[in-house]
A and B are shown apart, each in its own frame.
Chain A
Amino acid sequence: MIDPSLAALSDNLFSVAVVLYSLAVVAFCAELAFGNWPARSRELVAVGAGAPTVVQPGALDGPPAESPGARRLGGVAMALTVLGGVAHAAVLVTRGMAADRLPWGNMYEFATAVVLVAVVAYTVLALRAPVLRHIGAFVLGPVVLAMVLIGLFLYASAGPLVAALRSWWLGVHVTTAILGFGIFFVSGIASVLYLLRSRYEQKAAAGLAPSSSLLARLPSAAALDRTAHRTAVFGFPIWTFAVIAGAIWAESAWGRFWGWDPKETWAFIAWVVYAAYLHARTTAGWRGRPSAWVNVVGLAVMVFNLLYVNMVSTGLHSYAGVN
């Protein structure tokens, strides 16, 4: 049933993807380090001091002047990211072909797919709004880390699905969960960067921030916050759908649509936290940094749900395939 040569190809592609992503991180870092940014911080101070809370469209949206060399490095980094993404997608495709099924039947495959969605989401964002390219190192860095950890600790060789997963709902429920998770991943990183960058902007407004700081080269806090919010808005209905689809599947697989199984409980907690994030953004006193923290907590909950609930607690969702 399992095609061993395809399975081996998939495993090799995994390493190829990690190498390409690592090179992309290097290129992104080089872009941040070697780009020269004339007048950057002075302008920031001026804008920040004049109107600390008002968003001035365009003015703060990103590094204004970048040397051609740096821009070329950025282009190389994006190209490496896309190549890595292609290899990464091929990991899953070959795995699916090797086992003749959807390639997200265990935790290794699920986590690999989540990271792929995060990379694709970042790439789409960066192509649509080039200023967001500058968060590349901060997205691809965690991506490389996640891939290495997945390869080391979650790896499971290609195999058939257990009976419970042989359902059409695997395609619906798990696919949407992967999409939602991958998008929240990017959203959470944007919020972390927003938290760093907004503190930097406050300092810059007071004239206390060094212009050489790496943070000077990130997109503006407003742009990061907006990115975090829009990705979360995109991910939330998908996650909602994934939870509903999971409940429908549970009804036919386990005899009840909701039973507070640990995985269900944490999916619910994540849903509530993201709903709270969307609310916080429109609640007086919660805008800005507090709401960004809520988004970060949301991502932490998602990661906890993947790792802790699959590996430590026991429940009906124990298909991890990790021993």
Chain B
Amino acid sequence: MNERALSFIRNVLAVAYKETMLLRRSPVVLGAVVAQPVIFICLFGFVLSSKPANVDWAVLDQSRSELSRRLIAEIQASGYFHPRREVDSYEEGITALKRGEVLALLVTPVELARDGAKGQAEVQILLDGADPIAAARVGGYMRAIAAAVDTSAGTATVSRTAGRPVEIRQRFWFNPTLADSHFLLVSLAGMLLTNLCLSVASFGLVSEREDGTWEQTLALPVSVVELVLGKLVPDVMLCYGVLALAIIGPGVAFGIWPAGSIPALVVLTLPFVLATLAVGVFISTIAESVAQSVFISVFAIMPSFVLSGVMMPYELMPMGPRWFGALAPLRWYQIGLRRIVARGGGFEDVLIPMLAVTVMFAGLLAMIRMRTKPRLG
């Protein structure tokens, strides 16, 4: 009995050793482990943001009053905008909008100053809806800036009498400046691990089959379970290495360290990594060549990035795509990541995501068994 257990462990380690030697030379792994973390951290940390910046805008200032100049100066000073373009007519402004030269057009009416004195100042903002995300935000910013301009300056201050105003105090938790880089970097581990697991698993198996080494391995005096475990050990270790990179990188570069329980993160990662490796293995059982297998995994990565919510919040998607995205292990892992890393949660907060990826892993194993049985037999 003891002898058996020893030989089992020895066999697993032997296969693991062989796999590690192979991995060391694989360009795919080098790309996924070395190049991608660096590229992703730079992109997410420095480059990508859906926050408007350098926005081109135009002003049709019909009022030409002290108040309108103050409003324009306030908007300009907010830092989101390029120097404004002055237009002389409504048509000119609309044409600029239609050509996509400006994103927003501010129109002040002739009677702005007069209405302002009465406390009824109104301006119009026209937006290029062709760029909906930027338009929605820029509209919001301009409206907020306008609302804060004090129209009663110089005249008597409005008396605060009957029925006190209710004050709304608001705060953004976890990410006070609402930075997109925070959102993207928190889920970095999920993206890197998906890329790594899918390429290692789908690539490795098919190329072995093409080279004929798969059949040779099957002829070895090791059982299938030992073989699979031996193949998994180095992959999983590699994944934990990448996880460490994905945590330390954003921490050192941007000060984004996990706020919650690290042990919970380590435990949650295991079923996720196994499930994603299983997806890769399943792909390689369908594919007939390396090219096909890589092709399928590339196009499996794409929708899982898009629909899982690592790049854009899945809560905003309509129900169909939203449910479809729930089939990707990455969806549940990123939910867990955000709970632990961003919001400081612990084990009890990630039980459901953990259960979901474990169930997926079990289901995929069953599917792989069904696909591989005839070939091995």
Does B associate with A? no
